[in-house]
Amino acid sequence: MRVVVVGAGAWGTALANVAAEATDRETPLLGRDAGRMAEVAETRVNAERLPDIRLHPKVLPTADHDVVRDADIVLLVSPTQALRQVAAELAPLVRRDAIAVTCCKGVEQGTLELPHEVLAESLPGLRHAILSGPSFAEDVALGLPTAVTLACVEADAAARIAESLATRTFRPYWSDDVVGAALGGAAKNVLAIAAGAVAGRGLGLSAVAAMVARGFAELARLGLVLGARPETLAGLSGLGDLVLTTSSTKSRNFSLGLALGRGEPRPNKLAEGAATVEALIGLAAEHGVDMPISSAVADVLAERVSVGAAVANLLARPLRAEV
Ligand SMILES: NC(=O)C1=CN([C@@H]2O[C@H](COP(=O)(O)OP(=O)(O)OC[C@H]3O[C@@H](n4cnc5c(N)ncnc54)[C@H](O)[C@@H]3O)[C@@H](O)[C@H]2O)C=CC1
Ligand SMILES: O=C(CO)COP(=O)(O)O
């Protein structure tokens, strides 16, 4: 299977290394900026996005979209809000029997669609899958053990993608619960901002743990209404990724929350939770699901309320049964 990676950010670069190792085949890494991709090809390091990691010798950095013509598997690794546009650019080039795998985490603004729903519209007729789970790009690129969820409604396609990505240290588990995998990845980014804000404000680890557990409760409420399986929500792409990103300053979403809690300037890095939060609570509202922590994150990001006031508001909610 020939894998092509579209999106030369931190995660795309790490996944290109994984695919090149797993398939032992030339693996194009397609970026937008020809000059930058030429530099990555020359230096064999993506200095801007994943410094200190050498590209696998079989990774081919390029800005030439034609490389997707030969792809059996296309990994789409742009930010969620750019997915529709990136996929539309590929649509005339990609083979109809190829499998498109979204590796981004979020909900599209405006449409309130999860990444696989965006793909179904922008690359119609192709089989689609989702790669999600607890996986920092740097950890994966360093060859540290990582397990992820690979969700596809067609089990044979999921198994084929898994084989094209599995290495001695990168372990995809497959699933047919596409909604569960997509929702977990989208919501955990928002909840990581909440956990970071609580930590940054110095409210203690008990408060962070409460945010994680009650955050998971609202993620699961929405997931079940959307048809996700509880096992997926409690698995790698749900609880697993939530635990990772609410406990590490390596997470850009957690780091954004830390800055908010400390009253510091927001870091200038991609934080998918900030781009997704309004769409996530919009999706929840459409289905009559209450997501108070996510709503508090939206209010804080929009500067409608301070972190302290948001926490006080959550604590002042009427007492209720836990489940
Ligand atoms: N970095 C990580 O550890 C992981 C990231 N992800 C997900 O992967 C996705 C990408 O994240 P990263 O690679 O880390 O981000 P990044 O910030 O390192 O790179 C984003 C890439 O997307 C490109 N891009 C930005 N706007 C674009 C647009 N409008 N059209 C086309 N391309 C555009 C940028 O040029 C850049 O190459 C996100 O959804 C993220 O949640 C998932 C798992 C791990
Ligand atoms: O999704 C990730 C780890 O699974 C990366 O998290 P951040 O986007 O918060 O850095």
State pLDDT tens for residues 99-150.
999 999 999 999 999 999 999 999 999 999 999 999 999 999 999 999 999 9
For the CA of 192, the closest atom of ligand 2 is: 9
Span 51-59, mean pLDDT? 97
Would the CB of 276 count as within 6 Å of ligand 2? no
Return the residue matching tokens 């699901």: 289
Q: Is 26 annotated as a binding residue?
A: no
> Encoding tokens for residue 101?
């795998």
Which backbone phi and psi does 76 adopt, to 5 degrees?
Answer: -100, 115
Contacts of 61 (CB under 8 A, 6+ apart): 8, 28, 29, 31, 37, 38, 40, 41, 46, 55
Task: Give the number of other Cβ atoms within 10 Å of residue 299's Cβ.
Answer: 18
Would the CB of 275 count as within 6 Å of ligand 2? no
DSSP 86: H
Q: How far apart (Å, rounded) are the C-alpha atoms in residues 259 and 198?
A: 10
57-71, 140-154, 155-169: segment of lowest average pLDDT: 155-169
ipTM here: 0.98
Candidates 84, 116, 128, 188; catalytic one: 188
Q: How far apart (Å, rounded) are the C-alpha atoms in residues 78 and 72?
A: 19
Tell me the pLDDT tens digit for each residue of 74-97: 999 999 999 999 999 999 999 999
Enumerate residues lining ligand 1, CB below 6 A. 7-12, 31-32, 49, 77-80, 82, 85-86, 103-106, 135-137, 270, 272
pLDDT at 34: 98
Would the CB of 223 count as within 6 Å of ligand 2? no
Atom 6 of ligand 2: nearest residue by CA position: 251
Domain boundaries, the chain: 3-176, 181-315
Mutate-to-test residue for ligand 2 from 252, 255, 256, highest number of ligand atoms within 8 A of CB: 252
DSSP 148: E
How high does pLDDT run on average in the chain? 97
Would the CB of 139 count as within 6 Å of ligand 2? no
Q: Give Dmax (Cα) for the chain.
A: 60
pLDDT at 275: 98
Helix, strand, or coil here: 29?
strand
pLDDT at 242: 98
Which stretches of the chain are DSSP H helices? 10-23, 34-43, 83-90, 115-122, 137-141, 155-165, 178-200, 205-226, 230-233, 241-245, 252-262, 272-286, 292-301, 307-315
pLDDT at 79: 98
Instruction: Say if residue 32's pLDDT is above 90.
Output: yes
Q: Is 11 annotated as a binding residue?
A: yes
pLDDT at 175: 95
| C-alpha closest to that of 4 among 80, 65, 54, 78 | 65
**Range 181-315 has CATH code 3.20.20.80:** no
Atom 4 of ligand 1: nearest residue by CA position: 11
Instruction: Say if residue 231's pLDDT is above 90.
Output: yes
Q: Is 135 annotated as a binding residue?
A: yes
Mutate-to-test residue for ligand 1 from 78, 139, 276, highest number of ligand atoms within 8 A of CB: 78
Q: How far apart (Å, rounded) are the C-alpha atoms in residues 312 and 202?
A: 14
**Res. 156 pLDDT band, cuts 50 70 90:** confident
**Dihedral of alpha carbons 152, 154, 160, 163, sign:** positive
For the CA of 272, the closest atom of ligand 1 is: 41
Mutate-to-test residue for ligand 1 from 18, 39, 77, 81, highest number of ligand atoms within 8 A of CB: 77
- Percent of the chain clearing pLDDT 70 (strictly above): 100
Q: How far apart (Å, rounded) are the C-alpha atoms in residues 301 and 189?
A: 13
Would the CB of 106 count as within 6 Å of ligand 2? no
Atom 32 of ligand 1: nearest residue by CA position: 78
Q: Is 12 annotated as a binding residue?
A: yes
Helix, strand, or coil here: 4?
strand
**Dihedral of alpha carbons 204, 206, 208, 211, sign:** negative
Q: Is 31 annotated as a binding residue?
A: no
Return the residue matching tokens 């609410």: 246
b/e per residue 130-152 (b: at least 16 CB within 10 A): bbbbbbbbbbbbeeeebebbbbb
Q: How far apart (Å, rounded) are the C-alpha atoms in residues 306 and 278?
A: 17
pLDDT at 196: 98
Q: How far apart (Å, rounded) are the C-alpha atoms in residues 212 and 254?
A: 12
32-46, 62-76, 155-169: segment of lowest average pLDDT: 155-169
Return the residue matching tokens 């795998």: 101
pTM: 0.97
58 a catalytic residue: no
Residue 125 CA to ligand 1 centre (angstroms):
25
Query: What is 3-176's CATH topology?
Result: Rossmann fold (3.40.50)
Q: Is 204 annotated as a binding residue?
A: no
pLDDT at 155: 80
